[in-house]
């Protein structure tokens, strides 16, 4: 329904999302195709998590990766060979996502150890929906507010012209690519964390958390150093002919690289609280980055500092999210150690 409304009023939609006069035609060309694909793309996200949550991470990866690789192959063919421009990029995306949807649907139906989507499994029991909402609220908050933050970033950048919009969009995509790798790693940590917590192996939960946090920190530190060093060449890959875009983007990218390693603590810490059922604390850490901190920053800083405020908004939000998450995770870790100690004492008293 939302997709139909968006297609019907595509002009108002792209304006609301921060498109400028020169960007709006491209946004409409891309958006109308993506909105057509929205229903089955949404189902693909559900099937992906459905498979992963039941211990079939390899099958989940097969479906998602196939679509991603196909998208990369089709983009230059449709954009340049067929001369479809931005519409070609959108068509490549929706076709690739449809292929992923079909693969994931077949895997869900054919896999013997996966719960099948069937009306008989649907229930109106409140406690079931409560559990679903409790487990999913952190992700909903994180993803939903990320969309709102992206819109506000476009709106704030549009006040400084197309160059600012283009530069910040490029930087956002670069950082999203890095963070997506970390989130994928963290999603592998979540089942391990959840299973061990359910089995009351609290020491293993903490061991897995600290291990994943160290790995994530080293990965992000490495990426931060590399991206900081090659920030100018990377921006020139996207807009070599526009010196203003490159200048704005390079500074924004360097600022975010300085804070990037802290995301290891924020993201893995959020996934820890979410996996062990601490829904409220997980939601707070999830909405911290884009909701509690970035939205106020992007609304306030550009008006005070101009373009530097635009560039600083995300690093400031990331730093504050790191501090908030660490405060919460320290308390959670203390509780887990206490629970582990109590369990060991109970086992010793029984023997």
How is residue 340 written in tokens?
């582990």
Question: What is the value of pTM for the model shown?
Answer: 0.76
Secondary structure (3-state) at 271:
helix
Residues 6 or more apart whose Cβ sits within 8 Å of residue 231? 249, 250, 253, 254, 257
Dihedral angle sign, alpha carbons of residues 178, 181, 184, 188: negative
| Per-residue pLDDT band at 206 (split at 50, 70, 90) | very high
Q: Give the CA count within 13 Å in the CB-facing half-sphere of 1.
A: 0
Crossing angle for the helix pair 243-259 and 202-229, to the nearest 10 degrees: 150
Residues 96-141 pLDDT 10s: 999 999 999 998 888 877 778 778 777 888 888 777 777 777 777 7
CA distance 337 to 332: 9
Position 1 confidence tier, pLDDT thresholds 50, 70, 90: low
The residue-averaged pLDDT of 211-225 equals 96
Identify whether the C-beta of residue 44 lies closer than 8 Å to the C-beta of residue 104: yes
Task: Give SS3 for 254.
Answer: helix
The answer to whether 340 and 205 have CB atoms below 8 angstroms apart is no
Q: pLDDT at position 351, please?
A: 64
Whether 162 has a pLDDT exceeding 80, the answer reads yes
The token pair at 327 is: 């405060």
Q: How far is CA 281 from CA 234, 270, 273, 326, 329, in A?
A: 37, 8, 7, 12, 9
Considering only CA atoms, which of 320, 324, 336, 215 is closest in space to residue 275?
336
Q: What is the pLDDT of residues 135-147, one digit of tens each?
A: 777 777 777 777 7
- 193 neighbors 276 (Cβ within 8 angstroms): yes
Res. 40: pLDDT tops 90: no
- pLDDT average, residue stretch 250-254: 96
- The pLDDT-based confidence of 4 (bands split at 50, 70, 90) is low
* pLDDT at 286 (0 to 100): 81
Q: Dump pLDDT digits (tens) for 13-38.
A: 777 776 777 777 888 888 888 888 88
Domain positions in the chain are 1-122, 145-344
Instruction: Give every CB contact of residue 78 below 8 A, 6+ residues apart in sequence.
Output: 84, 88, 89, 91, 92
The alpha helices in the chain, defined as continuous H runs, are 2-8, 10-16, 24-53, 57-76, 85-110, 126-158, 162-198, 202-229, 231-239, 243-259, 263-275, 279-287, 295-305, 307-350
Whole-Å CA distances, 336 to 16, 199, 203, 292, 326 = 45, 13, 8, 27, 15
């Amino acid at each position: 329904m939302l997709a139909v409304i968006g297609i019907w009023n595509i002009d108002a939609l792209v304006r609301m999302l921060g498109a400028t006069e020169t960007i709006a035609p491209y946004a409409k060309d891309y958006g109308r195709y993506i909105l057509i694909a929205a229903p089955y793309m949404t189902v693909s996200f559900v099937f992906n998590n459905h498979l992963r949550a039941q211990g079939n991470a390899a099958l989940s990866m097969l479906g998602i990766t196939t679509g991603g690789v196909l998208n990369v192959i089709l983009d230059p063919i449709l954009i340049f060979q067929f001369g479809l421009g931005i519409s070609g990029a959108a068509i490549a995306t929706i076709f690739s996502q449809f292929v992923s949807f079909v693969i994931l649907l077949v895997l869900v139906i054919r896999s013997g150890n996966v719960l099948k989507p069937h009306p008989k499994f649907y229930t109106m029991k409140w406690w079931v929906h409560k559990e679903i909402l409790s487990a999913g609220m952190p992700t909903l908050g994180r993803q939903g507010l990320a969309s709102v933050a992206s819109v506000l970033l476009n709106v704030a950048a549009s006040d400084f012209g197309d160059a600012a919009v283009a530069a910040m969009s490029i930087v956002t995509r670069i950082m999203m690519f890095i963070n997506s790798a970390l989130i994928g790693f963290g999603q592998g940590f979540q089942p391990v964390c959840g299973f061990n917590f359910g089995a009351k192996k609290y020491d293993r939960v903490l061991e897995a958390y600290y291990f994943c946090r160290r790995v994530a920190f080293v990965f992000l530190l490495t990426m931060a150093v590399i991206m900081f060093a090659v920030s100018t060449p990377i921006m020139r890959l996207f807009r070599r002919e526009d010196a203003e875009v490159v200048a704005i983007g390079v500074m924004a990218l360097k600022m975010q690289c300085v804070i990037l390693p802290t995301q290891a603590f924020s993201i893995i810490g959020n996934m820890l609280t979410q996996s062990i059922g601490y829904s409220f604390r997980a939601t707070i850490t999830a909405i911290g980055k884009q909701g509690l901190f970035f939205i106020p920053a992007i609304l306030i800083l550009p008006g005070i500092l101009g373009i530097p405020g635009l560039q600083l908004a995300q690093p400031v939000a990331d730093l504050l999210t790191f501090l908030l998450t660490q405060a919460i995770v320290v308390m959670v870790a203390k509780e887990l150690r206490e629970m582990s100690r109590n369990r060991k004492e109970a086992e010793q008293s029984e023997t």
